[in-house]
Amino acid sequence: MTRRATSQPRRLGPSRLDLSVRLGSLQLRNPVMIASGLAGYGDELEGIVNLGKIGAVVTKTLTLNAREGNAPPRLAEAHSGLMNSIGLANVGCQAFISRRLRHLKALKTKIVVSVGGFSEREYGEIVLRLEDAGGFDGFEINISCPNVKEAGMSFGCSPAGAAGVVRAVRPKTSRSIIVKLTPNVTDIALIARACVSEGADALTVGNTFKALAVDVQTRRPLLGGGTGGLSGPAIKVLSLAKVWEVVSAVSVPVIACGGICCSNDALEFIVVGATALQVGSACLRNLRTPELVLAGIEEYCRNNRVRSLAEMRGTVKSPEL
């Protein structure tokens, strides 16, 4: 009696796997990025994280002038999450150019500079100064910080405000412009369409969710700035819904950001329609989380003979969602 041969699915060979993604004119070796605010200006991670494996690092958000940020305490734990109220503390645009930018040029990954502002004119001025300096790969325009009054999220909460910022920066650069949207709006799709109509190359969805925690003994907020932004595993399912709303509304690439802790989280966002993803708060537990997320994505693709993420992107089945 001859034994019937069983057919085992073969793993995909490493040379046949292509995880590269394109965000406008910005080409990344893979979709895993380190979110703004987690890596300082990028060079702090050199020697700690294998940046040669990461798709890109997004710097801390820069404003025209240096900012000390909000009063402490600036961090507070929440159930399955972290609240922060940093308040865009940064060295300012000129100091970044003169002291930090030259170090970033030597890093073996793409550098995306995050830009914030208190007026459309300020956004445009920062982009122009950075464009003249060069030595990086793209811009992320932050119109979503929930921790600064009269800046950030104040622009990102209306289609007109968001469009005005993109209109101010678009003529200043030919590099990719990625706009970071806030999830703290009623209809994020409207904001997304407004940004794309003014020339955004890609959208990051999104930022932290506005949150509050109170000390019942002192009756005061736990954070020095009062409210803060909630991140971490608690917001992943909320972020997933926001990404789905945006990918259904626009045709430019969408970068998922919010609660990604492992490769399965990342793959969920890709199935919903994200092109790339940013790892944020999970880095505070383990700085190598982005590398581990990438390794898990590669493993899944090889085991399932997926040659590129385009084969998976946007394959979530309706109407079950």
Active site positions, annotated:
145
CA-CA distance, 109 to 106, in Å (whole number)?
A: 9
Let me know: does 147 contact 228? Beta carbons within 8 Å: yes
What pairing do the DSSP bridges indicate for beta strands 228-231 and 220-221? unpaired
CA-CA distance, 20 to 32, in Å (whole number)?
A: 10
Let me know: does 233 contact 205? Beta carbons within 8 Å: no
Coil, strand, or helix at residue 56? strand
Non-local (6+) Cβ contacts of 51 within 8 A are: 42, 45, 57, 107, 108, 109
Let me know: does 73 contact 218? Beta carbons within 8 Å: no
Backbone phi and psi for residue 113, each to the nearest 5 degrees, phi listed first: -95, 125
For residue 226, the cross-strand partners are 223
Any idea which residue has 């703004």 for tokens?
Answer: 36
Coil, strand, or helix at residue 211? strand
What would you report as the CA-atom Rg of the chain, rounded to the nearest whole angstrom? 20
Cα–Cα distances in angstroms (integers) from residue 10 to residues 4, 212, 278, 302, in the given order = 18, 50, 30, 9
Let me know: does 82 contact 232? Beta carbons within 8 Å: yes
Burial of 50 (0-12, 13-18, 19+ CB in 10 A): middle
Any idea which residue has 């109170």 for tokens?
Answer: 214
